[in-house]
Chains A and B, each alone.
Chain A
Amino acid sequence: MPLIELTGIERVFTLGDSAVHALHALDLSLEAGEYVAIMGPSGSGKSTLLNLIGLLDRPDAGTYRFEDRDVTTLSADEQARVRRERIGFVFQSFHLVPRLTAAENIALPLMLAGIEPAERALRVKQALADFGLADRAGHRPDQLSGGQRQRVAIARATIMRPALILADEPTGNLDRATGEEVMRLLEVLNHNGVTLVVVTHDGALGARARRQISMEDGSKVKDSR
């Protein structure tokens, strides 16, 4: 049973009179525990696909089954619950809340899920230690380096122990070495059973994945599986 099953997905954006087919007749199936890199030129629909998988966006046609459940018909709040409990996001621009400390940023998903402050503190402390941020707990994002910020973001994405991590150009704002380090962290998560989907421009980074998918003009043109 695949973790994710997309069939006949269409996503059309209308800009004025013209319609942009960001995704067209897309079929995709991901097994739990896979490590997938999505590659392709700019504008090929990588981010759109990732947003669809992450339930941030809805397809105009086609069905999306997540953990064997049709999630396209869920209400916005039900989709939010799936995101909260099963999916973690890592963004190119980190998306940390600037006024909150590293620890508070990591605690956000726990707070949204209504988890007790005592347990929250415990889990955040563990996460800080796991990601080498123990001495940065009280620092705000502007007091952290790019690599540290992305580590905070990854800690936040994993704190709810999701089944799926979606990363859109996670190393795009980082230098090579720091990028490598961030990728290694994500790969360790995958190694521990989390399904990992990474969108990247970088062929070398993409090659590290066990499965590569190439996109062009909203369609899947190559799938290494």
Chain B
Amino acid sequence: MTPTDTLRFATRAATGYPLRTFLMVLAMSIGVAAVVVLTALGDGARRYVVNEFSALGSNLIIVLPGRSETGGFNPANAITGTPRDLTVEDAQAITRAPAVLRTAPITIGTSEATYSGKLRDVTVVGATADYLKLRRMELAQGRFFSAEESNGTTAVAVIGTKIQSELFGVEPAIGRVLRVGDRRFRIIGVLAQSGQGLGMNADEVVILPVAAAQAMFNTNTLFRILVEARGRAAIEPARAQTLEILKTRHDGEEDVTVITQDAVLATFDRILGTLTYGVAGIAAISLAVAGILVMNVMLVAVTQRTGEIGLLKALGAPGATIRNAFLAEAALLSATGAIVGYALGQAGAFALRAAFPVLPAYPPDWAVIAALATALITGLLFGVMPARRAARLDPVRALSKR
């Protein structure tokens, strides 16, 4: 029998028993759909977190004061006591490193902002001219600090959209004078809406020149220095150079922590990736169950069609032909189930995206391929036993059964 005929024969057999075929396709498709939807969910969560971090700006290195836990207990630190603070001069020194494109020293505090009697708690960020570019932020109106403004203590401010709408309403904010704490700042820019990032809502901040903010909080230390490397490949050299510069400037002591965004991302990526695999594994169990169902249904089919198998033998079909016909049928049913399940899964993922627009719930390619392959392989594998049983039937006994 030619492969085409085998396939056609199997198709006729599958369509000849619609209920059985429907149930089998249903079982298989539920398994595949479960894998597709659940991995879409898991991978969507992973991508959501990764995107959130990427929103911080790319090729980012974060310098924080103090030796981090990751290095373990360092006796040198114990002797010298408190670590040295980070300063604006540190940031300027880092900017000169070859692998570094720009830096943004920041200081953070909270204060109250008032404008014509309206008062609001705000997060005050002290920053320099490069902050905007480094954070990939956009302005809705006005301009950001110039280099001169950010180096001095010029009383200018850039505000978040929410501050603008709450304190100024529809009035233009540019050029107005805003009171922050007991100081007065002329507003020169309004940030475009951007949402969450770096643990604070960028729409609710007031950005001041770093020196002005330090003066306001009566400090000359920094909260962080954000460093942008010249490219992806430059992240590692930039990290090393940053560390080297700060070590030199801090009398040979490594009293800062340098985190690359990549490292943070990689950790999250790993955790959520593992989660996705776990979920995929659980969903795969339903595929195995579907495989067992395929086997039972095919065994029933062999019993049901014993007379037909006897006839085929009498007509001179060798065992292999009968085996192939039943295998083709199992493969056909699982393939159909896999395709239907894939469509259902994609529909489910689409529904997820519609219900939760922030979640990029797309099933990863590997999951789709794995689900389809598993469906086909389990279908075939579990189809082998019934097919062999059919091929081995004794023709006389098979014929006598009706």
Contacts and interface: CB of A to CB of B under 8 A. Distances in A.
Contacts, number: 66
B329 to A, nearest CB: 12
Nearest to B310: A95
Contact of B395 (A56, A82, A156): A56
A100 to B, nearest CB: 7
A107 to B, nearest CB: 10
Contacts of A83: 314-316
B314 A56 contact: yes
A144 interface: no
A156 to B, nearest CB: 8
Nearest to A113: B316
Interface string A46-66: 000001001011000000000
A156 B314 CA distance: 12
B183 interface: no
A85 B318 CA distance: 13
Given A56-B313, A80-B313, A114-B2, A95 B318 contact: no
B5 interface: yes
B307 A95 contact: yes
Contact of B316 (A80, A97, A100): A80
Contacts of A98: 16
A114 B1 contact: yes
Contacts of A85: 316
B1 A112 contact: yes
Contacts of B118: none
Contacts of A51: 396
A161 interface: no
Contacts of B9: 111
A131 B7 CA distance: 29
B307 A76 contact: no
Nearest to A81: B316
B312 interface: yes
Nearest to B17: A99
Interface string B289-333: 000000000000000000110111111111111000000000000
Contacts of A81: 316, 318
Interface in A85-124: 85, 87, 89, 91, 93, 95, 97-100, 104, 108-109, 111-114
B13 interface: yes
A78 to B, nearest CB: 9
Interface in B1-25: 1-2, 5, 9, 12-13, 15-16
B97 interface: no
B351 to A, nearest CB: 38
Nearest to B6: A111
A67 B342 CA distance: 56
Given A56-B395, A56-B396, A113-B316, A97 B1 contact: no
B339 interface: no
B310 to A, nearest CB: 8
B194 to A, nearest CB: 64
A97 B311 contact: yes
B318 A80 contact: yes
B245 interface: no
A85 B316 CA distance: 8
B314 A112 contact: no
B399 interface: yes
Interface centre among B13, B307, B395 (most CB of A within 10 A): B395
A56 B308 contact: no
- The interface centre, meaning the residue of A56, A76, A87, A89 with most chain B CB atoms within 10 A of its CB, is A56
Interface of B: 1-2, 5, 9, 12-13, 15-16, 307-308, 310-321, 395-396, 399, 402
Interface of A: 51, 54, 56-57, 76-77, 80-85, 87, 89, 91, 93, 95, 97-100, 104, 108-109, 111-114, 156
Given A99-B12, A112-B312, 18 more contacts: A51-B396, A57-B395, A57-B396, A76-B318, A77-B319, A77-B320, A81-B316, A82-B316, A84-B315, A84-B317, A85-B316, A93-B402, A95-B399, A104-B12, A109-B316, A111-B5, A112-B1, A112-B315
